[in-house]
Amino acid sequence: MVCDTDQPFSVLCKLLTEYNLIDALSSGKWTVFAPTDEAFANVSDILSNLDDRRIEQVLLFHTVKDTIIETFSCKEVITMTNGKDSRALCGDNGELFFKGADNSNDALPELVSAVVDDSICNGVIYVMDNVMLPSNTLPDVA
């Protein structure tokens, strides 16, 4: 994955660097669902309450290792790098959403576009308008 501050997902790049995941994404084949900086801002209150293990699980929930996925079908289940499943959901107007178990139905992450960049030679990056939250992400309520 190419991390460039000019891209709309510099927060994702910062987190991938902080959690030592950039090198892993530089080799092998990957599908990356990249939330925009705005998407991370929308869940900053959630992420600020997560421990390092849960943040790493959120990051890994945005990748599929050893696979370049170029097309999706409605209700398709995709196993993410952290071992948890996401489901592709088709909207009434042709939108494509990917749900994590801890995402509310009111804020489903939508696949906005694919990044077309000749420097990305080992995968594909899909820009997401929200952060996908796998099951057991949200902090336990006391």
pLDDT in tens, 72-90: 999 999 999 999 999 999 9
| In the predicted structure, residue 113 carries a pLDDT above the cut 60 | yes
Q: Confidence class of residue 52 from pLDDT cuts 50, 70 and 90?
A: very high
What pLDDT is recorded for position 9? 79
Q: What pLDDT, in 10s, does the model give residues 57-72?
A: 999 999 999 999 999 9
Averaged pLDDT of the chain: 87
Report residue 120 CA to chain centroid gap.
17
| In the predicted structure, residue 131 carries a pLDDT above the cut 60 | yes
What pLDDT is recorded for position 88? 94
Per-residue 3-state assignment (H helix, E strand, C coil) for 7-43: CCCHHHHHHHHHCCCHHHHCCCCEEEEEECHHHHHHC
Pick the CATH number of 10-128 from 3.40.630.30, 2.30.180.10, 3.40.50.2300, 2.60.40.10: 2.30.180.10
What pLDDT is recorded for position 122? 81
Residue 44 DSSP one-character state: H
| In the predicted structure, residue 6 carries a pLDDT above the cut 90 | no
Structure tokens, 36: 């925009």
What pLDDT is recorded for position 119? 61
Do 16 and 40 meet the contact criterion of CB atoms below 8 Å apart? no
Domain boundaries of the chain, sorted by first residue: 10-128
